[in-house]
Chains A and B, each alone.
Chain A
Amino acid sequence: MSETNANILVMEGVSKAFPGVQALDNVDFTLRRGEIHCLVGENGAGKSTLIKVLTGVDQPDAGMIILDGNEIHSRSPQHAQTLGISTVYQEINLCPNLTVAENILLGREPRKWNGIDWVRMNAEAGEILKRVLDVDIDVTKLLGTYTVAIQQMVAIARALDITSAKILILDEPTSSLDEHEVQQLFKVMRKLREDGVGIIFITHFIGQVYEISDRITVLRNGLLIGTFDTSSLQRVELIAKMIGRSLDDLDEMSKIKLESSKHIRTEALLKADGLGRAGSISPFDLELHAGEVVGLAGLLGSGRTETANLLFGIDKPDTGSITYEGVEVTEYTPLASIKRGVALLPEDRKAEGVVDDLTVRENIVLAMQANNGWFNYLSVQEQYAIADKYIEILQIATPSPDQPVKNLSGGNQQKVILARWLATNPHLLILDEPTRGIDVGTKAEIQKLVLSLADEGKSCVFISSELEEVLRTSHRIIVLREREKVAEFSGEVDENTIIHAIAGSEA
């Protein structure tokens, strides 16, 4: 069989830019018939953009997509479906208040003279499930009464039944499944592979990648790092490629000494004792000191953001306690944390950070004002003064402080949110992915800023998927894996060791 015939999908030189960020940069991707191909990369790597381009949600700036030998341009997800590209997302796009049979067949349901033929529809739906997925459930019950795992099956069944799908894209399907259900899904995927369907499987669970996939494609920062046969790529190597350098480079490098700081205090500013939350993060111990930057390293899904949220009071812990400046914390709310002098730069800038219709000035003073309360209003001059100060310090590119924040680029929006938290004069500043989606120059600025904050005597927690920057800015590194704290490093550390800790294997 020739090369082209074996490949059901070829994407060549695909590029896509959004204002301020190059989401995909000349990426190639091939998918063979009857293959399970994993697409991996941290957030912002470009995975979802690649899929959106393939399914027609976005249009590429450059590049070619060839499906089964023919060049295609998807105009919309429905169009992509007719071309033979089916997608099942993490949020099941079905109707939980309709029955399983309807969810599979609605739009093509069997009818008789007086309307929908329920008997035939139920029979057909059951038959489809059996045939395509080897699954046997009661199709007359409402979809919503089933677990997420079953709902996904139904989504897959619908997707595959509509057109004889050539490609099935599964976008993070296992996030809400337990082990048993994951195995069910894998059984179905293997059957589909046997039938010749090409499957693109996006997941952040490295274990699953190794369990089910034939090949792996790694993306990072919009660039294609490489496509590998799963059997010949070691886990450690994979992690290295995802978050940092190649393993060869690592082995060649000498040990790195983490930044030493003269200002680290010995007594703990914050102590977490057995702090944990069911389903988010296993109980852990943590100590944070003034003048110190602690880096939190780990892959997506390892529990970093959950840890940050617990420390800041977004979520309440189920076990353990936090002691702040020697006093036990009783109130777990953002406002209480702010009053204590803790600040959190959240991971999701759009949903949790920016209030887009408000101006730069208002966004900057927002948390400070919340700290002051309803009636202790900062005068307008004071607000402008604060805004001007931080626009200057962080070099925020905006024509004036009265610009609505939504008009700023992503990087500058991030700076505004950072300014907001700096303005509260915190003792402890937690930064969750502060450099994601930001240009290189600003990244360096922010990293330098974090170190200088530590020099001033603040305590910082720095969370990032980029191991490089964690290494560059931290005095201590804590490694999380699968929602558990697994290691802590300080002083001199071998980068290799850290990657092994993240990967979960011995060096």
Chain B
Amino acid sequence: MRNHKKPSFTWRNIIESRLFFPLIALFLILLFDFIFVPGFFNIENRDGNLYGSLIDIFRNGSTVMLLAIGMTLVIATGGVDLSVGAVMAIAASVAGILMNPSALRNEVFFVTDPTYTFQPLWVVIGTALVVSIICGLWNGVLVAYMRIQPMVATLILMIAGRGIAQLITNGLRVQITYRPYAYIGQGWIILPFSLYLVAFVYALTWLLTRKTAIGMFIESVGINFRSSFFSGIDEKKIKLLVYTFCGLCAGIAGLVASSNIRTSDANNIGLTTELDAILAVVIGGGSMAGGRFSLLASMVGALVMQAITQSMYARGVPAFALQAIKALVVVFVILLFSEQVRGFIRGLSTKKKEV
């Protein structure tokens, strides 16, 4: 019986690996920081915890990384989920209200006791996650069973979801003062707590997709769902699963985000994050038509987006000018991955071989 070793580390394999491009991009950005942003790489050690700009990239990027994990699977089936930002807001609103329901009575009762919470933490987090799973199920049913185009189906929740989040908090921004909850986004065990959360979700997803048949089925459905059907794969269940999972990831991201700013802000939480998540997947080499996916590459893509943001802030670029820069990044990435450019590069390398 032949022995199949892991693919060797030849130059060819490295360049063609999915991780190559996003890692290079990340490297270049960090290089830029190293040269132009003094103190970017400084890591302080305060009471055993590490702080610094580099650490901040990971900490602030954790919401997008979480979203990117869910979004990768959805895009791999050939779909897209535009509602993740809205689901983040919904999850945050649910959590906020369960800790401090005074908003529902139209009073704003300022809680000063950091140990006060209306419902215990596990109820708060549990309910928020259940609600986000329901949102994901909603999307999944629309796409898989009612056969509505993913962009249109998730657009509905994207528009209405913010309104629902508003409804839950009665239009007010709910302040979060419960210390254990704030820990999610602001806690620190040597490294930021949210990083461990991301690692946990990543590990779980990796197990779920690579140690079971689910990953292979997702890719198969994304590449050719009719052939998958003939092979006995139930495409509907797979799609339902990925959209539900994406909703869950968005819910977790919503908890992290709201804990970060200590507010359940139905208006602003998760605004434009759906685009960041999609971009992270694209930078990680994911094709919007579906097919092969790499969770790690998407997360690196998310880090690239965050690194750009962070570096710009460090250089004093104002928040909204950042949008223009992100746009240029999008353009650049798309150009790079477009057929024309790829063909051009391939043409170059074959010419080299002939010589």
Contacts and interface: CB of A to CB of B under 8 A. Distances in A.
B291 interface: yes
Nearest to A314: B230
A357 B232 contact: no
B219 interface: yes
A351 B226 contact: yes
Interface stretch (B114-122, B133-141, B151-159, B208-216): B208-216
B1 A358 contact: no
Contact of B229 (A334, A357, A384, A385): A334
Nearest to B211: A377
A374 B219 contact: no
Contact of B231 (A385, A388, A401, A420): A420
A334 B219 contact: no
Contact residues on B (Cβ < 8 Å of other chain), bracket: 20 to 34
A356 B232 contact: no
A106 to B, nearest CB: 27
B258 interface: no
Given A358-B219, A374-B212, A351 B227 contact: yes
Contacts of A354: 224, 227
Nearest to B238: A374
Contact of A373 (B213, B227, B230): B213
B60 interface: no
B216 A375 contact: no
Contacts of A425: none
Contacts of A376: 213
A385 B234 contact: no
A97 interface: no
Contacts of B178: none
B55 interface: no
A374 B217 contact: yes
B223 A356 contact: yes
A74 B235 CA distance: 42
Q: Which of A367, A370, A375, A401 has the most CB of B within 10 A?
A: A370
Given A351-B227, A354-B227, A357-B292, A362 B232 contact: no
Contacts of A333: 232, 234
Given A335-B232, A338-B232, A388-B1, A353 B227 contact: yes
A357 B223 contact: yes
B4 interface: yes
A372 interface: yes
B233 interface: yes
A355 interface: yes
A355 B212 contact: no
Given A352-B226, A353-B227, A401 B213 contact: no
Interface string A48-60: 0000000000000
B2 A346 contact: no
Given A357-B292, A374-B217, A366 B1 contact: no
Contacts of A388: 1-2
Interface in A314-359: 314, 333-335, 337-338, 344, 346, 351-358
Given A358-B220, A384-B4, A334 B213 contact: no
B212 A401 contact: no
A355 to B, nearest CB: 5
Contacts of B233: 335, 366, 370
Given A335-B232, A356-B223, A401 B4 contact: yes
A166 B184 CA distance: 76
A375 B232 contact: no
B263 interface: no
B291 A357 contact: yes
A395 to B, nearest CB: 15
Nearest to A388: B2
B228 interface: yes
A344 to B, nearest CB: 7
Contact of B220 (A353, A366, A384): A366
A369 interface: yes
Given A358-B220, A374-B212, A375-B213, A352 B232 contact: no
A338 B233 CA distance: 11
A400 B214 CA distance: 24
A208 to B, nearest CB: 30
A358 B77 CA distance: 14
A372 B213 contact: yes
A353 B216 CA distance: 16
A369 B216 contact: yes
Contacts of B212: 374-375, 377
Contacts of B224: 351, 354-356
B314 to A, nearest CB: 40
A369 B238 CA distance: 14
A371 B213 contact: no
Nearest to B291: A357
A355 B231 CA distance: 10
A366 B216 CA distance: 8
B231 A366 contact: yes
Nearest to A389: B1
Interface in B1-55: 1-2, 4, 7
A37 B15 CA distance: 55
A357 B219 CA distance: 9
Interface in B216-272: 216-217, 219-220, 223-224, 226-234
Interface string A420-459: 1000000000000000000000000000000000000000
B1 A385 contact: yes
Interface in A297-317: 314
Nearest to A348: B226
Interface in B157-174: none
Contacts of A374: 212-214, 217
Interface of B: 1-2, 4, 7, 211-214, 216-217, 219-220, 223-224, 226-234, 291-292
30 contacts: A314-B230, A333-B234, A335-B234, A337-B232, A344-B230, A351-B226, A351-B227, A354-B224, A355-B224, A357-B219, A357-B291, A358-B220, A370-B217, A370-B231, A370-B232, A370-B233, A371-B232, A374-B214, A374-B217, A375-B212, A375-B213, A376-B213, A377-B212, A378-B213, A384-B4, A388-B1, A388-B2, A401-B4, A402-B4, A420-B231
Interface of A: 314, 333-335, 337-338, 344, 346, 351-358, 362, 366-367, 369-378, 384-385, 388, 400-402, 420
Given A352-B230, A420-B231, 6 more contacts: A335-B234, A357-B223, A366-B233, A370-B217, A372-B213, A384-B4
